[in-house]
Amino acid sequence: MKKKLLLGSLLGVALVGGIIFAADHIDAPAVTGAGPSSLSNDITDIYAFQSPADNSKMVFVMNTQGLLSPATSASATFPSNVMFEFNIDNTGDNVEDLVIQCLVQNGKMRVYGPVAVGTPGTTSTVKTSGPMTEVAVTSYASSTTPTTATNANGVRVFAGPRDDPFFFDFTRYNMVLANPAIGFNSPGSDTFAGSNVMSIVVEVPKTLLGTATTINVWGETKSK
């Protein structure tokens, strides 16, 4: 599978607490590719943090397809020809040592890993030999009661629409451009309130991530 998009930020995450994230939100067609399906390849946010409910686990989140309207969210899907991949470096050399690979098959999200990477870089082979978790993709209509699944290794998975965390006061921004002395309001008004993303959430026991106290995390989408 060839790389379609690589998030431009590398996250250094301590395994003892805190939350780290990176976002570029919506990429240009030169990055995502042309055509109506290109949005489904676009990573908007990456998060990695210690589970607030269980400090023995880490949570990895990849948001895609940003700023979906409610109407668009109802029909949004994860494409079956795209793999969503979390890359985890636990040796500090900024090269992935572990991967979590997520892809849709028969209407369900299959998540493989974390498992040792075969060949690092921009091409990947699906690591079906590793632990696998399968979960039904939560629909927009049932998003208030999300579906999760947990495998025998304690890896828990969710896939489906979530509220887009992106906040931007676009009206005030334009006012500031016209008159810089105006300044922004605190709090501002979220121009994009009510929009959604398609999200993949993977909760992983720290014992499956190696013995390092800090990991680097980045995300990619790769298409066939």
Say if residue 10's pLDDT is above 80: no
Helix or strand or coil: residue 140?
Answer: helix
Helix or strand or coil: residue 148?
Answer: strand
Predicted confidence at residue 2, as pLDDT, reads 35
* Predicted confidence (pLDDT) per residue in 208-223, tens digit: 999 999 999 999 988 8
State the maximum Cα–Cα separation within the chain, in Å, rounded to a whole number: 59
Contact 112, 128 (CB under 8 A): yes
Domain boundaries, the chain: 2-167+194-223
CA 94 to chain centre: 19
Say if residue 34's pLDDT is above 50: no
